[in-house]
Structure 1
């Protein structure tokens, strides 16, 4: 479970003021499915990630499924995730129609684009 306090690599970004700080000061990167705001925090030895899925996207079941898929994708890439950052991931409307594997592929694409994933030797793309 990536949101537990025992695991130091990725922790949740919870407070509204932290979200607002990342939106105001952070750099944004986007693709069709996701927008990511990233703010470097040099004093942190871990990454904090917040998720946002608008009420315009489906019903509560759909929004929660999207958040679960994103959390699982982050857990999947946790060992390669950059530390010392605050990050907010916003899901756009097209994510509601994606399968888990399509969402994972698109999440990986936008994470690489924003330089949050460290390159692996198996990554040819």
Structure 2
């Protein structure tokens, strides 16, 4: 995922936290902020130290980023999304993480549901 699709600055994270709609399941918390002037969605990922050591946290971030990249065509382009991983997601497979991302994105009404 290109850097233009990422939320990196703490001030940008704070804006989404302050003006957000949030949804959660056992594995992820999703914060979303609508930005109609935006040409593509942006993603911010937060993985706490409760997940594990640095290599475990990076592993989880990569899996989340890959899942979002695969779901990109189904995500509206005018939003900022923050994904916060909960400790239960540690040591889970890529397939499981993607399934849980789909679940929580559908709860947040971000993912377009196929009929």
Out of 62, 67, 71, the residue aligned to residue 77 of structure 1 is 71
- Does the alignment pair 1:49 with 2:43? yes
- Does the alignment pair 1:111 with 2:110? no
Number of aligned positions between the proteins: 115
Q: Structure 2 unaligned runs (5+)?
A: none
Residue aligning to 1:8: none
Residue aligning to 2:61: 67
**Shift of residue 83, structure 1, vs aligned partner:** 1.3
Residue aligning to 2:21: 27
Residue aligning to 1:98: 92
**Shift of residue 100, structure 1, vs aligned partner:** 1.2
Q: Structure 1 unaligned runs (5+)?
A: 6-10
- The normalised TM-score by structure 2 is 0.94
Over 4 Å off, 4+ runs:
none
Q: Which has the higher helix share?
A: 2
Aligned pairs (5 A) from 1:11-22 = 11-22=5-16
